[in-house]
Amino acid sequence: MSDIDYTQTNDRFFDYCLWEYKPVVPFQNKYRSINILTHSFLNYDASKACNIVKTIQSGIGAHETVWGIKNDNGNISWEFYFYDYERRHRKKSISKVLDTLSTALPCDIEADENIHYFMFSFEINKQLLNDENSLDELDMYIGNVGSTVSSGICYSVKKDSSTMKNFYFFFDAKEQQEDIVAKICCSAYLDTSKININEVLWPELKECKAICLANKRNHDCIYFSGINIDQLLVFMKRLSYPQDLIAYIEDNYSMLDHLQYDVGFDYRMENDKLVILKSGYYGIF
């Protein structure tokens, strides 16, 4: 998995919702975004994660899974997302993925495949990869019917329980600016008389394709989808990602500039200041 994975002329490109996009610059013989992911594994001595990625690709196919690299106060973790918008007629089910991973990453959760979920994910961290622990929690996403914008609900799924976690709302970044601002302001965790909204709606990133706003249990979250490589570097530097991850993007700029990127961060107000709790950036493998 340490070898470079290069693009081919027939490659297709997808964002973190597995929605297709067309690169705005030539892409032949450049880097696929999986290289960003595997580089982060190697630097954090998480070689077991490379085996998990290879197992997933063998079981459900390449370029079908979304990855996220998460930064929680300098602690790096990873999340993998599996989409199938056919819902109950899905092919990429929780059961199938967990069965595929039964040796590489055991999990004793049994999914109810009659539920109309369209996506699920799980997070791995260095402790899970270094110890002999099994996966004990998934996030499952269900549509939020009746919303005026694309929307979803996230549930935490464990062996014996399911708990609602988050609501997600997707807005067109250019056409729905007023709605985006209004949604950010409608929060129990933000007082815009004390916080400049640009601390959340970064001017450097709002020139993008879509903005997703999430209401989570103890904070809110914003995602910027379809940003370019320069915007990604602004995001990573401002949120103090490890220098080796930043350097990989900078050193391979010309091999990664064809990709669109998606980023997001959790936030809330504490002591009249905006605090960013956790952030992430995304690609596919």
Angle, vertex CA 266, rays to CA 263 and CA 269, nearest 5: 140
Mean local confidence (pLDDT), 77-102: 95
Give the N- to C-terminal CA distance of the chain in Å, as an integer: 12
**pLDDT tens digits along 120-170:** 999 999 888 887 788 999 999 999 999 989 999 999 999 999 999 999 999
CA 233 – CA 243 distance, rounded (Å)? 11
Residue type (1 letter), 152: G
CA torsion angle for 241, 243, 247, 250 (degrees, to 10)?
50
Whole-model pTM: value is: 0.95
Mean local confidence (pLDDT), 194-214: 97
**pLDDT tens digits along 228-249:** 999 999 999 999 999 999 999 9
The reported pLDDT for the residue numbered 128 is: 87
CA 57 – CA 67 distance, rounded (Å)? 12
Q: How many CA atoms lie within 13 A of 202 on its CB side?
A: 21
Instruction: Kindly state the DSSP code that residue 97 receives in the 8-state scheme.
Output: H
Tokens of 4: 């470079």
**At 198, is the pLDDT very low, low, confident or very high (cuts 50, 70, 90)?**
very high
CA torsion angle for 138, 139, 145, 147 (degrees, to 10)?
180
